[in-house]
Amino acid sequence: MEVAGRLNTAGALEHAVSNSVRAAEAAGDVASEDYLIAGSLVTLRFASPPLRERLTPAFAHLAAPAEGGFERPGLTVHLWDSVSTGIAPLPLPPASSADAVGELHHFHEPPLRGAYRPHLRTFSMLDSEAGAAWHWVEDALRQPPAEQACPIRQILFWWLASRGYLQLHGAAVGSPEGGVLLAGQPGSGKSTVALACVGSQLLYAGDDYVASTFGPRPQVASLYNSAKVEPERITQGLPRLAPLLAGSDLFEGEKAVVYVHEHLPGATTTGFGLDAILVPRFDPGLGTPRFVEISRAEAFAALGPSTIVQLHTGGKRELAKMSSLVARLPCYALEFGPDLEAIATAMSALVPDLSAGRDG
């Protein structure tokens, strides 16, 4: 259960964070990595080699071109940990109990916004006016694989809002002509469907978190190329993707984190226009996958609540945006059975039809 608390004053934290990151950057070399996220240049400045090694694979498909061409980053994030740099931990409150997995402390004192998760010993802060952010972890080597798969998620959620995007709990696949958003509660099959399309004519934009605009033609932006999947879903249902499991880390005792771009760089995309919302439904007795039109209320129920839970600091404004997104798009259930290879065939036929229908 999540427990939302408050940190001490933003000013005191800002001072402590500034001192800590300056000390960390002075203690060793700083490595910068540039990425294009939702069309904007984002620079990650790592003062911790272990943190850089663990967090950059998730963004590899978004690497900015070497020739540059951007005047300045839209966002610069400073990242460091205490153990590898030898810098004292930030003065943050302890967990309220031994079982604090869902505990979250946060503050919002514009232009500053911050969040601290005690059980992970991670703190994130954004200065929305300066276009700067800070991400600290106590020990880079102790961060769970599931967290490494979607780095600086809270910072991106806050920052993307200023760019007209909302971070969503969903997967997405498509082509340059258009694609679909896969929405559902954890365990509904979003990852399975998205990975089943890898290697087909459809491109992979994300497994658990993507971002979307809300214009007449919503645009989805990829955030991560990481996927969280039960290994047997790959080895038994999608054996052609078994190489993706090489070197993957298990978490929660059963799931693996795989990086699609590392093994199949041509299978990923930075984004596309959205043409529909799909809600996966697994039916063990079904042979050929099928698409069934569903109400917008059902699609919103699959997208809205889980997104708010995953974002931690979202609320009514984000729910209203998701409602407007659902209202703009046709909504279907994707019903599929044990034959996971059949998903790509069905999806590869649906997505061009949706794009053609929009253009027609």
pLDDT, one tens digit per residue, over 71-108 is: 789 999 999 999 999 999 999 887 776 566 778 888 99
Query: How confident is residue 187, by pLDDT bands cut at 50, 70 and 90?
Result: confident
Mean per-residue pLDDT, 213-227: 95
CA of 212: how far to CAs of 38, 180, 336, in Å? 9, 11, 26
Do both 219 and 99 map to the same domain? no
How far apart are alpha carbons 133 and 124 in whole angstroms? 7
State percent of the chain over pLDDT 90. 79
What secondary structure does DSSP assign to 133-153, as a single string?
EEEEES-GGGS-HHHHTSTTH
Select the more confidently predicted residue: 260 or 252.
260
**Res 6 pLDDT > 80:** no
CA distance 283 to 44: 43
> Is the pLDDT at 297 greater than 90, yes or no?
yes
pLDDT in tens, 308-354: 998 888 899 999 999 999 999 999 999 999 999 999 999 999 999 99
Kindly report the average pLDDT of the chain as a whole number: 92
**Of the candidates 37, 38, 77, 80, the residue with the CA atom closest to the CA atom of residue 60:** 37
Same domain assignment for residues 213 and 315: yes
Same domain, 236 and 134: no
In a domain, 97, yes or no: yes
Residues 232 and 273 in one domain: yes
Residue 98 in domain: yes
> Do 234 and 191 share a structural domain?
yes
Q: End of a domain among 149, 178, 198?
A: 149
Mean pLDDT, range 2-17, rounded to an integer? 69
pLDDT tens figures, 17-65: 999 999 999 988 899 999 999 999 999 999 999 999 999 999 999 999 9
**Residues 170, 223 within the same domain:** yes
State how many domains the chain has: 2
Angle between helices 316-328 and 296-311 (to 10 degrees): 150
Domain ends where: 149, 184, 216? 149
Say yes or no: 235 and 319 in one domain: yes
Give 171's strand partners. Answer: 182
Q: What pLDDT is stored for residue 12 in this prediction? A: 79
pLDDT above 90 for 247 = no
277 inside domain: yes
CB 312 within 8 A of CB 101: no
Domain membership flag for residue 160 = no
Same domain, 210 and 122: no
Give the Cα separation of 215 and 200 in Å (integer).
28
Q: Does 159 map to a domain?
A: no
Q: Which tokens is 308 given?
A: 């708010």
- List 182's β-bridge partners, or say none: 171, 278
Q: What is the pLDDT of residue 359?
A: 64
β 132-137/122-127 pair status: antiparallel
140, 170: one domain: no
Instruction: Indicate whether 123 and 9 sit together in one domain.
Output: yes
- Which residues are CB-neighbours of 276 under 8 A, at least 6 positions away? 180, 181, 329, 330, 331, 332, 350, 354
Q: Check whether 152 has a pLDDT greater than 60.
A: yes
- Look up the domain containing 34 and give its range: 3-149
| CATH number of the domain residue 284 falls in | 3.40.50
Q: Of the candidates 76, 90, 149, which has an alpha carbon nearest to the alpha carbon of residue 122?
A: 90
Domain boundary (117, 149, 181) is at 149
Please name the amino acid found at residue 342: A
**pLDDT above 70: residue 8:** no
The answer to whether residue 187 is domain-embedded is yes
pLDDT at 2 over 60: no
Angstrom distance (rounded) from CA 182 to CA 202: 14
Is the domain of 33 the same as that of 170? no
